[in-house]
Amino acid sequence: MSKSWGEITAADLLTCLDGELVRGSGSRRFRGFSSDSRNIREDFLFWALEGEKYDGHDFLPEAILKGAAGAVIRKGFELVLPTGRDAAVIAVPDTLRALGDLSSWWRHEHEAVVVAITGSAGKTTTKEMAAAILSRRGETLKNPGNFNNLIGLPVTLLCLEDKHRYAVLEMGMNRPGEIGRLTEIADPDLGLITNVGRAHLEGVGTLEGVAKAKVELIENMSDHATALLNGDDPVLMQAASSFSKKMHFFGVGRKNEVRAENIRDLGLQGSSFDIRHGGGIFTVNLKVPGLQHVQNALAAAAASLQLGASPEEVVEGLSAFKSLKGRLAIINLPNGVILVDDTYNCNPLSLKSALDSLRAWARKRKVIVGLGEMLELGDETLRAHLEAGAMVAGLGAGLFVALGEHADVMIQGALDKGFPENMAVKAGDHEEMEQRIRAEMREGDVVFLKGSRGAGLDKVVERLTAGANAL
């Protein structure tokens, strides 16, 4: 049996951490773990993490008073425990790195097959789709929400139990080295890269910098692991060409081992396509709209097939998949307007994919586009926002409402491509964007909203929806 909470002692922690027991007994057991003092329960282990806006050490007394049996703290921190309380306290040079070390140890204490997924766009949806397929073969753990960073991924791994057959983990990054460290922690059996696009350029500088950061997954995988790559992405393929790890490829090109063929856009009903693999072919029906989901589904299918899933399990898993909140989620407004909520995040690649998916609708309906800021693009910021406006013009939108510091740039990009000046509007805040859209929308129209998480366009969605139904 693998290690589990309730059995883990302070002495066990010391076997995998670069630290020392500065207080309490090594035999003290912990029945749970949290880095948030609000979630501490009796006999839990409290992990004091330091962030830009908080320091977990400030909440150590609260955690102990709530019953924490131990804590991991930074070396040199002046420890003062509440009167009458005792705890096993371990001091380490860096509590964040130590968290990764613990979760790496925990991962190897369990037998689950680990899948790691990264990419500039589609990684969350691909993760959810892969988990939907693999869960048909056995209990599957996945990151909740966007727990894909140096805190979220280790916390997810620490939820591994004996019952889990698979762990499907999304990996995000905004600077060099993060994917490499996450890979060291997770030690995946299969590493998947969906694509490379202009995202997080502020941290890596160029598109080639993005590619270099993403292929840290391949670089840091164990020799026993397999890489699964989008074979249609030339930048990714170039960046991966210097590695000698086992690699397999998916895409629409004939050189790919897992291919999508005969792609059919069914509008609001989703899409359908054939997967060719190993000399066979089978049909997948997706119930979520947006052609970019074909690539996400293909990636998830390729990963699952690589791990032994049958075509039937792939078809069942993908057929059951439903839209995620904020990711091309379809909401039927009471007035007959279709709201497309794609507000979770935005970069040039994901915006292009989403707008491409709207083209079939734009030929039959009026499409109203509301765009917010795209963040972390560095020197590419102005060009990317000009291109965003140009893409809206190319779509043939009926109204374009832009919000944020670069709203004027987006509008200029649309005007440069011939978009009507009287139909391009700059909104000063979320309320004004909602009011502008509401004043223009009519029954049968499509309203599309997208922006980086920091742009907060989910607030516009909230204002537009009242008793509406999401598909």
Same domain, 313 and 165: yes
In a domain, 4, yes or no: no
Identify the bridge partners of residue 450 per DSSP, sorted by sequence position: 342, 371
Q: Of 450, 360, 443, which is closest to residue 400 (Cα–Cα)? A: 450
Contact 459, 430 (CB under 8 A): yes
Kindly give the confidence (pLDDT) of every residue in the chain, 471 residues in length, as a single tens digit, with 9 standing for 90 and above. 577 899 999 999 999 999 999 999 999 999 999 999 999 999 999 999 998 888 999 999 999 999 999 999 999 998 887 777 789 999 999 999 999 999 999 999 999 999 999 998 889 999 999 999 999 999 999 999 778 999 999 999 999 999 999 999 999 988 899 999 999 999 999 999 999 977 656 666 688 888 899 999 999 999 999 999 999 999 999 999 999 899 999 999 999 999 999 999 887 788 999 999 998 999 999 998 878 889 999 999 999 999 999 999 999 999 999 877 888 888 999 889 999 999 988 888 889 888 988 887 778 889 999 999 998 888 889 999 999 999 999 999 999 999 999 999 999 999 999 999 999 999 999 999 999 999 999 999 999 999 998 999 999 999 999 755 555
Query: In terms of residue numbers, what domain contains 256?
Result: 110-320
State how far the Cα of 14 lies from the Cα of 186, in Å rounded to an integer: 20
How many structural domains is the chain composed of? 3
Q: Does the CA dihedral 88-92-95-98 come out positive or negative? A: negative
Which element (helix H / strand E) includes 282?
strand 280-286
Same domain, 265 and 155: yes
Report the largest interatomic distance among the alpha carbons of the chain, rounded to a whole angstrom: 74
35 phi and psi angles, rounded to 5 deg: -100, 5
**Residue whose token pair is 């709201």:** 339
What pLDDT was estimated at residue 200?
59
State how far the Cα of 197 lies from the Cα of 281, in Å rounded to an integer: 30
In a domain, 99, yes or no: no
Domain end marker among 320, 349, 374 = 320
In a domain, 164, yes or no: yes
In a domain, 102, yes or no: no
In a domain, 393, yes or no: yes
In a domain, 104, yes or no: no
Contact 117, 125 (CB under 8 A): no
Tokens of 121: 């766009």
The CATH number of the domain where 361 resides is what? 3.90.190.20
Q: Of 385, 383, 368, which is closest to residue 438 (Cα–Cα)? A: 368
Same domain, 144 and 31: no
In a domain, 129, yes or no: yes
Q: Quick: pLDDT tens for 144-174.
A: 977 899 999 999 999 999 999 999 999 998 8
Same domain, 262 and 126: yes
Same domain, 76 and 165: no
Identify the bridge partners of residue 275 per DSSP, sorted by sequence position: 260, 282
Same domain, 435 and 408: yes
Same domain, 129 and 254: yes
Residue 352 class from Cβ within 10 Å (0-12 exposed, 13-18 middle, 19+ buried)?
middle
Same domain, 339 and 460: yes
The CATH number of the domain where 70 resides is what? 3.40.1390.10
